[in-house]
Structure 1
Amino acid sequence: MPYTWKTEVDVDETIVVLMNVLDKNTELPNWLVCTINGSISDSKPEIVKYFFEEVKQHIPAALKYFETTM
């Protein structure tokens, strides 16, 4: 079930989760990618833009999971 980001703090928490998962694993689990893609679809455009800015800054390797929703 997707989670709608309402604030930049919501996105920041997602970024931390992504960084932690990728620190321990080489790939993101499918459930996490699906959940984040749902958040991208359901959240306001300015929050989604912030998400992509933060991914590019902190974990650019993760962009490949979300390129189709950009």
Structure 2
Amino acid sequence: MGYRWTSMTDVDEAVVVVMNSLDEDGAIPGWLSKTINQSIKDSDAEYGRYFFEQVRQHAPAALKYFAE
């Protein structure tokens, strides 16, 4: 179940979780991918755009797990 991002800090925290998952496992678990994809859908578009900007910058290998 996703949650609605209401600030850039919410998005930043999600990006840190993505980065940590890649560092630990080399992949994004299915539950995390589903949760973040739902958050992207449920949140204002500006937060979705910001999420993708941050992932491109900090964890580009994770882009394949998320729908743009």
Structure 1 residue runs of 5 or longer lacking an equivalent are none
**What is the CA-CA distance between 1:41 and the residue it aligns to?**
0.5
Who is 2:26 aligned against? 26
Who is 2:15 aligned against? 15
SS for the counterpart of 1:6 is coil
Partners of 2:34 and 2:51 lie apart in 1 by 15
Aligned pairs (5 A) from 1:1-70:
1-66=1-66, 69-70=67-68
Normalising by structure 1, we get a TM-score of: 0.93
Structure 1 vs Structure 2 CA RMSD: 0.7
Identity rate of aligned residues, in percent? 56
**What is the CA-CA distance between 1:26 and the residue it aligns to?**
1.6
Q: Which 4+ residue blocks in structure 1 deviate beyond 2 angstroms?
A: none
Normalising by structure 2, we get a TM-score of: 0.95
**Letter aligned with residue 41 of structure 1:** K
User: How many residues align structurally?
Assistant: 68
* 1:7-35 deviations in Å (ceiling 9; x for gaps): 00000000111111111102111000000
SS for the counterpart of 2:13 is helix
